[in-house]
């Protein structure tokens, strides 16, 4: 039986990443628990010290309830090495579509995400290979791919 989980991403600016990834994944910012105006108010109520708060929105959820919740946790240290885990955004439409159609969709999504604050790193494509992807960095430098 599958288990429920949330993905936690360490970062310096939770609200910036929450808003970027909500747009990137077509998620929404998660509302705070019942009885609280903000997540920070909830965290304070359970004893989390102010220096550990991200101050602002730091959680996103899939509005359809299909994907995992994502929490952007503020940490004091900066990112210093390549991610050991990254997100693949599936925008191409699947292998039943022609490679050229998938390429156009991936490029359109890459342009949209660059406009939202991502940075393009490289194109991932080889002659004769039925694959096309674009590698990007989110606003804090976390690697992800669109394919």
Report phi then psi at 14, rounded to 5: -55, -45
Distance in Å from the first CA to the final CA of the chain: 29
- In the chain, what are the domain boundaries? 6-74, 87-146
Percentage with pLDDT > 70 across the chain = 100
Q: What confidence score (pLDDT) does residue 54 get?
A: 73
In this predicted model, which residue has the larger pLDDT, 51 or 133? 133
Q: What are phi and psi of 58, to 5 degrees?
A: -140, 10
Q: How high is the mean pLDDT of the chain? A: 93
* Residue 51: per-residue pLDDT: 80
Q: Which CATH architecture has domain 87-146?
A: Roll (3.10)
pLDDT per residue as tens digits for the range 52-97 = 887 789 999 999 999 999 999 988 888 888 888 889 999 999 999 9
Average pLDDT over residues 93-112: 96
């Amino acid at each position: 039986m599958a288990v429920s989980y949330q993905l936690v991403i360490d970062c310096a600016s939770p609200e910036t990443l929450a808003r970027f990834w909500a747009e990137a994944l077509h998620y929404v910012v998660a509302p705070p628990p019942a009885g609280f105006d903000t997540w920070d108010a909830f965290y304070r109520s359970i004893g989390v010290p102010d220096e550990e708060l991200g101050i602002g929105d730091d959680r996103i959820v899939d509005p359809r309830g299909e994907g995992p919740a994502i929490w952007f946790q503020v940490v004091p240290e900066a990112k210093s090495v390549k991610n050991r885990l990254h997100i693949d955004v599936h925008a191409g439409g699947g292998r039943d579509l022609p490679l050229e159609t998938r390429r156009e969709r991936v490029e359109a999504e890459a342009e949209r995400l660059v406009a939202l604050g991502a940075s393009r790193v490289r194109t991932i494509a080889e002659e004769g290979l039925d694959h096309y992807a674009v590698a990007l960095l989110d606003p804090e430098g976390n690697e992800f791919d669109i394919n």
